[in-house]
Structure 1
């Protein structure tokens, strides 16, 4: 018997001198697990029974052997093993006893999966022939080291070793000819690794435990490590660029980039504390006490064997201190008698539980939203099903399930989802996945090269994506189903073989496609990204430059060089670059974003740690305070307005306080499930969720006095897909039917209107039947690009595409008569260069576009000199000047504040007559626009003019009301969708299908819809139905868009054009006839106020800007008001 510190024991039972049973017992003597072993008369192990096998719940693992009768050298050689479910392996040998073949079997029946081996002793070569018949050759030296490996394609990897120390590898060369070298000290420690480029990683000052105290990376940055007398790590210090540490010596704080401290129990080396230093003051190597930063503490049981508690302590308020205002977070941990964790936390500190069967397999565990799921395994330990069952009000219900079935070789062959729908998997003999078939019988198949890398992926219609690879396995070309190839090339040894260029398919008359080139530093980070225009385009290449600090954080990015077109800039007419700099704290949390301009060369004397350059002129765009756990506490804009946040233990936002005085409080369930959001004025959204986390009811309440504005009730089918949606306002329902694989088959509303869909053999929408029985047909090319849309009225939309997937032409024709057509050409950088636009009843115009190197639209020319438009921008992308005509007949100047908010529009220049003035609230939302005559703006709080429009925003930062010459009010649901609009005293209610508009209803009348909309996908309107919308007598109006999605024309059932509209590049309507309801520029919803509803916010085409900041922050750029160039 063997006992450990906690009192557990192993008891051994012997039969004929061999261990036949091992019993694991708890401290009190109770049996925790029993393992049994069987032998034959020769002492060979013939069976093993796991604890569940002992209990009779599954079979044993069995073994069979050859005997001397099978050959002189085969006695005692393993012949087969068989797992409890019958899968196993059979082994065959040469007469000298070396393995000849491995072959899978199922219950003794041999399967075709066979691997064979050949040996060439003279050359010390072993040849492996895989299950597909391809050979891999291994050549060894006299010490058994591989010196050459030739893979199944003939590509060779070679290795060299030190003659004096034959197990020290000196070099390895891959099939691309790239060689990596290794150097060692006298005791075998690796001291230098040299990349093919010559860049080196160095290790120095090894301890008695062969641990390096100093490491220099390939970029020349050092890491200093400190250990205690037992060899346990106590400190990891990363130095700033250019700083060289001395082993065992604490560097000055000014030289340190980051510092992490470690402590252990002092006896067994169990880690007890980790501290990441935010403040290096007082810190010294080898002492955990110094320095300030978040600390994670681990407590153990009496034997210091298993952790029992985790505790984290750090600054939660952002004041830089850790005191009573920052209580520690603690979590309890537990283990069972066999040392398996049964209670703990996930990465977000949510509690989790785990239970095991006797074989140690998880049979119950906490899922992502806190529910306990149960799991079953087969005798081989493979998961066969997972279920979520809950008992509520005395009734047990199965909420979710997933089942897995395996083939004879033990590979996953089938999965069944909760609805019972099957996905099938097929493999080749080598176990490569060759086909996946979904529940709708749509399949995706794969072909592989001899090494097992996929080279062809294709659907049921043989639409294939093909790859070619070089000898090192790097992708050379990817050819799409239309036969268009994207090419990849790589740097030679000087660039360590990294990706160098990506060349897209050529377009039009260009002789080659666009090229993107990547230049790297020694650590593989992109430091220059160059876009080379298509050959023959006459465009100029442009590059973006990046700088990283010693920790690998991006600290600087300088965009493409361009000629400053801002007439108010001190560098007007000079070549400059936009530059952005990021500032971090010692815990790598973002603290500040700075932006502005730098010199044409990207900046001189750049500080490698901060990214600062004397060539820069930058201003702060945003500052942040962050707690020690990475949670953003405040965000302050360029005008000093601060948004503040608080959090719960799990990182969920508890409160958000905006600078304009609104506070929203949030309540969450486990797994980051939002339950409610409540503003200080009583405005509220509430969610009820099922055990899967799906919303089953969502309520939106107005501000005090609170009134329910809308509630949605949701039901789901067995496969967890939306089954029915009910809108409380008119008790209107939308019911959904799905294919087994999850494609929408039909959508039926409570008024009897139904939309049905049809798909081709590869799952693409090819037919749509509208509620009025209209039929739309769709067709695609091999690559899945839409090529044709057939309308019920006989109009056909045809789309032509370039090889790089850019749209060449979209036309709408009634027979041979063109109703609408947009034909595009592109410049060498992929931007739309010309647009020939035909709109029925309007003159055909050809627009020519020009851009600066930052992709900002600088000129639009439609062939009429007096209508030529030119634009100039500041470094932040704000339009600062617009000129009309050639020669210029009108100049408009624009003024912005430090937060990129448009404040003034003037005639001629910034000293000209004030034409328009704008005010914003502290949250950056447009609050007032003053236009007309006599416009004044004495300060940021006041403006006047003969036309004043005021904008009121809700406590959820949504535009609620517009007051002025045109007034409007809006309501929104929990998803931010606009559900009600009142304009000119007319109120319209909206019903949604997901994010798509489905129906319109007049105020006070939810009986009959004013209109229903037919959509072919997200934001793809096809038709508007009015009258008896669910019958063939409905009046249908069909939408005809351009390549941006802008609706240019409307036709009726007889294909007569009933409305047209034409827009400029920024969305201002230039001309048109009739009425085009609901959809306009880029397919979004124009209002009578002049704004366009873009779901998340509103856009003002007159100035080309949004009325509020982008809610996703700076992900799309530093200017959160700017509209993209819609001509692209």
Structure 2
């Protein structure tokens, strides 16, 4: 109901209450675009936590193989602290198998940490060498008073992310284009060590040393990490500002052999005789690595080497997960290519004829483009199904073109910093990007218009203008925190802070939300606009463990022996769900509150191959070589089949054997869907921007037009006089709805984004809200004077629904809910539905009704699970037909001795368009429906005459509760509904 508020709150809470999102791994850069030295830098560090917290290194080691440089990389963040403003404190360790062996390293050989950056100046050289905490090394050449990187050594886009160096009074300043910087101070060893990290607003991390050892890192709020060392000058513990600690152990060789994070999660690490990581073991199991590195001084090996044999100039990493499944990363020096073989395709080496090198073993192959000085870029990735993606680069080695095996391509033009200044999509539409001298995007010129952006001197966004010319303004405090947003309609939202933390959001004099925090800066309480409070608790690594809402509605979350593995979740009312995992941390079972168990079986790649429900009914899944679902097989053996071509779905065949075929144009836009039965085919056409402009289906032609920002402007349906026109306000909310030139809705909203007025067909509906905590309510006044009043109790539950006419109450419902949110009380002056008599029912392996009061033939299903024979209310038998989309097309039954058939026709959007009724084979009724998605705007007869008009609330997507008025036979009809609509 409070759409604008919740959007604003969502932005804040997503930052404060971290959640998990599906992982998307870039094919050629597993650490993503910010995996180089710039991590932990300026604004980037403020988002130091992974955008995908489910797969972050916070709390446990994670690993990947980087095909850009054929390197095994391990990362772990055992302790961190999110600052209220300025750079976060985040102690991250990074291991690089290709790193130099250095037993004197403070965190072990080949390991580095996020604050171990330093700079050296080689003897008799004008260059500076920057050693980053991620293990990256860059050499800077002196040009004038600055030191800059040779662009030939950079990956795509890195010029924007890496600093320029300058030297003044013995201090090196590494300045980024966004205005943030790091400083390095000269020490006796001749090196320059990290002394501060400063963001765009001047907020700094400061580093203190003693005896050339880092002793503390302090943020802008004077909160610190402190470091303790052993006699070998290795870090053995790191302590946070609240006393939480991380611990580290080393062997006699100085190798890091165990880590324990601030929650107590631990991991043990072993190494081979070359000092390369050979295993990582946590509470769930062990991941092993067999790293076989080539020797640049040796000869190439023609044959694929057996395990343990000399590699020549080739390299191989074999990873074995805790379940024993193997995957391989191999670089072949003979061909100059690399490959990846996933666990389900891995072949154990037997001899020269049985191994992973054989051509019939599915693999992902990486080709490289070679440059001078040993630098290379991934040039092509070829997947096991033969589809491929090829990459081309400009003279500065920035990505300039991506070509796909389906014949399509996209193009990039880059500036000297590696920023994209022009992007051309697969249908040859270009967007131009313009940057200021600090590489902030200030203009985007699209084929349909311009977007603009303005920045402060600190590079903070202070204005944004969309394609419609509408501007939003932003203000910040001295610490760079958002202070005020002025929306396009002039509404002002203020953000208040206390001790550096956001404590309130206010608009139009109303507190939309207020926040409280614990000593680690985590949200412990949120109070909403109505005064309802929700409390939160966490464990030491910020995992949410308890949510307490009003009315004792508590949720408890228990984690297992590894981070982010939820072991159980107890919902309000004591309903507990339990979760079980295998040693590879994959979910394998869910136990519901009734102790029913749903099990998941997985293949070597971790994909679900079977789902076994609580009744032991199994659904199976099969995949092709690239992991696309090809078969879904049900418990009775019936199956859905999917076929692919060039990675796109070519056809599906349902369990009844009906095929649905997909046809594409040269741009791989869907142009036609055809069927193997009588289901009408659907055809699609597009404009030069790739927008859908027309669809031809069984009802005829539907045409679409668009505003410059891509929102739909009009829909001209298959019948005469059925054009729908849409309008939007400055905040992109629906503001008007026209049908055939008539007003079916003009919408106005209050300052908090709530619907306050609907005007349609010369009728006006008014909505008002009372936000006072003791009297929260929402009123809807109809044109005839009837008022609907929704009242909420002091914990936010709906307590009463009334309809009033003047001083008289003409309809009333009183509700009560338990702590689980289940309805426990319902009082009404309206007749209530009686419970139907109990029926004895049994179910088959597909959870379909197999007998009804002992009758095993009452309900019959087809192979796709559609009910083709059953009972209507009153025990009336019926038969039904379905099309290839499993949509009901006909139902036949007998009523009062008359044979009745009802037929249904659908549009391309799968919504009902035509209804027909036949009695004794004679058509007695036809209705056509003009729709906007879920909502039905108009009913017509077979001659296209209007039978009824419907007016809807735009904030409720369908349902009788969203129906404001039905106009039929020159009468306006208003509906009273219960809480369910």
* Same fold flag (TM > 0.5): yes
Select the residue among 953, 975, 979 that pairs with 1:1039: 975
Select the residue among 310, 320, 323 that pairs with 2:380: 310
Q: After TM superposition, give the deviation of residue 415 of structure 1 in Å.
A: 2.1
Match of 2:472 in 1: 423
Q: After TM superposition, give the deviation of residue 176 of structure 1 in Å.
A: 4.0
Match of 1:278 in 2: 344
Match of 1:899 in 2: 846
Match of 1:975 in 2: 909
Select the residue among 457, 471, 482 that pairs with 2:519: 471
> Residues 238, 292 of structure 1: CA spacing in aligned structure 2 closer, same or farther, 3 A cutoff?
farther
Q: After TM superposition, give the deviation of residue 462 of structure 1 in Å.
A: 3.1
Q: Secondary structure at the match of 1:546?
A: strand
Contact residue 553 and residue 572 of structure 2 kept, 8 A: no
Mean CA deviation greater in 519-528 or 774-783: 774-783
Distance 2:378 2:852 in 1: 65
Match of 2:893 in 1: 964
1:219 aligns with 2:294: no
Q: Secondary structure at the match of 1:587?
A: coil
Contact residue 623 and residue 637 of structure 1 kept, 8 A: yes
Contact residue 179 and residue 200 of structure 2 kept, 8 A: no
Deviations along 1:928-974, one digit per CA (max 9) or x if unpaired, are 126899xxxxxxxxxxxx95411111122211111112421111111
- Matches of residues 73-152 of structure 1 in structure 2 within 5 Å? 139-147=208-216, 149=218, 152=221
Deviations along 1:15-44, one digit per CA (max 9) or x if unpaired, are xx9999xxxxxxxxxxxxxx99985xxxx4
Distance 2:261 2:285 in 1: 13
Deviations along 1:737-791, one digit per CA (max 9) or x if unpaired, are 2212212222222253342122112222101112133333343537998611111
Match of 2:544 in 1: 499
Deviations along 1:890-940, one digit per CA (max 9) or x if unpaired, are x4201222111113211xxx4xxx39701111111011126899xxxxxxx
Q: Secondary structure at the match of 1:1010?
A: strand
Match of 1:300 in 2: 368
> Residues 787, 368 of structure 1: CA spacing in aligned structure 2 closer, same or farther, 3 A cutoff?
farther
Select the residue among 583, 591, 597 that pairs with 1:550: 583
Contact residue 724 and residue 738 of structure 2 kept, 8 A: yes
1:666 aligns with 2:662: yes
Unaligned segments of structure 1, at least 5 residues = 1-16, 21-34, 52-61, 67-73, 99-123, 242-255, 317-327, 389-397, 507-511, 534-540, 562-576, 598-617, 702-708, 846-861, 870-881, 885-890, 934-945, 1029-1033, 1046-1128
Distance 1:838 1:921 in 2: 44
Deviations along 1:61-115, one digit per CA (max 9) or x if unpaired, are x99999xxxxxxx8698999998xxx9799999xxx99xxxxxxxxxxxxxxxxx
Select the residue among 170, 173, 178 that pairs with 2:239: 173
Deviations along 1:587-629, one digit per CA (max 9) or x if unpaired, are 22221111226xxxxxxxxxxxxxxxxxxxx231x11111121
1:801 aligns with 2:788: no
1:406 aligns with 2:396: no
1:625 aligns with 2:690: no
Match of 1:571 in 2: none
> Residues 224, 331 of structure 1: CA spacing in aligned structure 2 closer, same or farther, 3 A cutoff?
closer
Distance 1:435 1:949 in 2: 62
Distance 2:151 2:366 in 1: 33
Q: Secondary structure at the match of 2:553?
A: coil
Distance 1:750 1:293 in 2: 61
Q: Secondary structure at the match of 1:463?
A: strand
Match of 2:642 in 1: 645
Select the residue among 912, 915, 932 that pairs with 1:993: 932
Select the residue among 553, 566, 586 that pairs with 1:513: 553
Q: After TM superposition, give the deviation of residue 279 of structure 1 in Å.
A: 4.4
Distance 1:191 1:272 in 2: 30
Match of 1:264 in 2: 331
Q: After TM superposition, give the deviation of residue 699 of structure 1 in Å.
A: 1.8
Aligned residues: CA RMSD: 4.3
Distance 1:714 1:337 in 2: 43
Match of 1:608 in 2: none
Deviations along 1:170-189, one digit per CA (max 9) or x if unpaired, are 11233443322101123432
Match of 2:599 in 1: 581
Distance 2:559 2:151 in 1: 55
> Residues 384, 50 of structure 1: CA spacing in aligned structure 2 closer, same or farther, 3 A cutoff?
farther
Match of 1:738 in 2: 728
Q: After TM superposition, give the deviation of residue 525 of structure 1 in Å.
A: 0.3
- Matches of residues 792-831 of structure 1 in structure 2 within 5 Å? 792-831=783-822
1:952 aligns with 2:881: yes
Q: After TM superposition, give the deviation of residue 443 of structure 1 in Å.
A: 4.2
Q: After TM superposition, give the deviation of residue 50 of structure 1 in Å.
A: 11
> Residues 672, 579 of structure 1: CA spacing in aligned structure 2 closer, same or farther, 3 A cutoff?
farther
Q: Give the structure-2-normalised TM-score.
A: 0.73
Q: Secondary structure at the match of 1:892?
A: coil
Q: After TM superposition, give the deviation of residue 262 of structure 1 in Å.
A: 1.5
Match of 2:827 in 1: 836
Match of 2:753 in 1: 763
Q: After TM superposition, give the deviation of residue 240 of structure 1 in Å.
A: 3.5
Match of 2:438 in 1: 380
- Matches of residues 346-385 of structure 1 in structure 2 within 5 Å? 351-367=409-425, 371-385=429-443
Contact residue 368 and residue 380 of structure 2 kept, 8 A: no
Q: Secondary structure at the match of 1:278?
A: helix
> Residues 292, 516 of structure 1: CA spacing in aligned structure 2 closer, same or farther, 3 A cutoff?
farther
Distance 2:766 2:857 in 1: 46
> Residues 308, 225 of structure 1: CA spacing in aligned structure 2 closer, same or farther, 3 A cutoff?
closer
The structure with higher relative contact order (CA 8 Å, sep 6+) is: 2
Deviations along 1:466-522, one digit per CA (max 9) or x if unpaired, are 222212222211221222111112346xxx66332111112xxxxx33333323222
Deviations along 1:409-459, one digit per CA (max 9) or x if unpaired, are 3322222222222222222222223333332234444334545x5333333
> Residues 895, 155 of structure 1: CA spacing in aligned structure 2 closer, same or farther, 3 A cutoff?
same
Select the residue among 965, 968, 981 that pairs with 1:1024: 965
1:917 aligns with 2:858: yes
- Matches of residues 656-805 of structure 1 in structure 2 within 5 Å? 656-668=652-664, 673-681=669-677, 683-701=680-698, 709-779=699-769, 781=771, 787-805=778-796
Q: After TM superposition, give the deviation of residue 282 of structure 1 in Å.
A: 3.0
Q: Secondary structure at the match of 1:580?
A: strand
Match of 1:193 in 2: 259
> Residues 801, 285 of structure 1: CA spacing in aligned structure 2 closer, same or farther, 3 A cutoff?
farther
Distance 1:623 1:922 in 2: 16
Q: Give the structure-1-normalised TM-score.
A: 0.64
Deviations along 1:199-248, one digit per CA (max 9) or x if unpaired, are 4201112443x32112112433333333224498623333445xxxxxxx
> Residues 375, 751 of structure 1: CA spacing in aligned structure 2 closer, same or farther, 3 A cutoff?
closer
> Residues 175, 401 of structure 1: CA spacing in aligned structure 2 closer, same or farther, 3 A cutoff?
same
Distance 2:589 2:150 in 1: 61
Contact residue 765 and residue 780 of structure 2 kept, 8 A: no
1:234 aligns with 2:292: no
Contact residue 532 and residue 796 of structure 2 kept, 8 A: no
Contact residue 179 and residue 459 of structure 2 kept, 8 A: no
Distance 2:622 2:317 in 1: 27
> Residues 532, 290 of structure 1: CA spacing in aligned structure 2 closer, same or farther, 3 A cutoff?
farther
Deviations along 1:374-398, one digit per CA (max 9) or x if unpaired, are 322233322222233xxxxxxxxx3
Distance 2:542 2:745 in 1: 54
Distance 2:737 2:329 in 1: 59
Q: After TM superposition, give the deviation of residue 345 of structure 1 in Å.
A: 4.9
Mean CA deviation greater in 185-194 or 514-523: 514-523
Contact residue 179 and residue 199 of structure 2 kept, 8 A: no
Contact residue 205 and residue 217 of structure 2 kept, 8 A: no
Contact residue 434 and residue 442 of structure 2 kept, 8 A: yes
Q: How many residues align?
A: 796
